[in-house]
Amino acid sequence: MSDSKSSYLQILKTTSLFGGVQFFTIIISIIRTKLIALFIGPAGIGIAALLNSTINIISGITGLGIETSAVKHISGGYQNDDLNSVSTKITIVKKIALFTGICGALLTIVLSSWLSQLTFGDSSHTFSFIFLSITLLLKQLSTGELVVLQGLRKMKLLAKANFYGNLFGLLFSIPLYYYY
């Protein structure tokens, strides 16, 4: 019975932790949207949404589902205390994340004119897609790291990484929105 209570307590703590992080993520998202509206205007919100959704589609295609499959494999080896296997799997996940990130970035660069035409009806945003291609690489690399943390059950570090990633993303993007 004590083991069951401990398990429930751990689930409650983890849920509370991620609930708090999710709350701050929502606040950061609201601030980001408000700043986009303030600096770029309502049209900027629409452009940002179109760019984001296009980049997310490409990321989903080139990501190969690494965020779901890798957690299972790393966690399975970690649960069995097979550290050699876990180490090998982590190395593979990081290499796959780098490869998929590079593929996504290159695909976005190569298709940037077509993506601009498809998304906006003209090629005026070609350089926006080229500029955003680096985000695909960075997104896949960060996904690879988050997958490792989740697979190793480092939930506090995972929550901190999510929070600080969102916070620094906001702080980095504010000047870009202002000077855009």
pLDDT tens-digit map of 160-175? 999 999 999 999 988 8
Task: Report the length, in residues, of the chain.
Answer: 180
pLDDT band for 79, please (50, 70, 90 cuts): confident
What is the pTM assigned to this prediction? 0.82
Q: Residue 51, class by beta-carbon neighbours within 10 Å (0-12 exposed, 13-18 middle, 19+ buried)?
A: buried
Average pLDDT of 94-119? 95
The number of domains in the chain is: 1
Q: What is the overall mean pLDDT for the chain?
A: 88
Q: Residue 107, class by beta-carbon neighbours within 10 Å (0-12 exposed, 13-18 middle, 19+ buried)?
A: middle
State phi, psi for 4 to the nearest 5 degrees: -65, -45
Sign of CA pseudo-dihedral 42, 118, 136, 65: positive
d(CA 112, CA 125): 8
Range with the poorest average pLDDT among 74-83, 102-111, 116-125: 74-83
Q: Residue 157, class by beta-carbon neighbours within 10 Å (0-12 exposed, 13-18 middle, 19+ buried)?
A: middle
Distant-in-sequence contacts of 118-121, Cβ < 8 A, 24+ apart: 119/50, 119/51, 119/54, 120/50
| pLDDT at residue 1 tops 70 | no
Contact present, 146 and 158 (Cβ < 8 Å): yes
Between 126-151 and 112-120, two packed helices, what is the crossing angle to 10 degrees?
Answer: 100
> Which domain range does residue 80 map to?
2-179
Q: What is the pLDDT of residue 11?
A: 80
Q: What is the pLDDT of residue 10?
A: 79
| pLDDT at residue 180 tops 90 | no
Terminal Cα distance for the chain, rounded: 59
Average pLDDT of 58-86? 82
Q: What is the pLDDT of residue 18?
A: 84
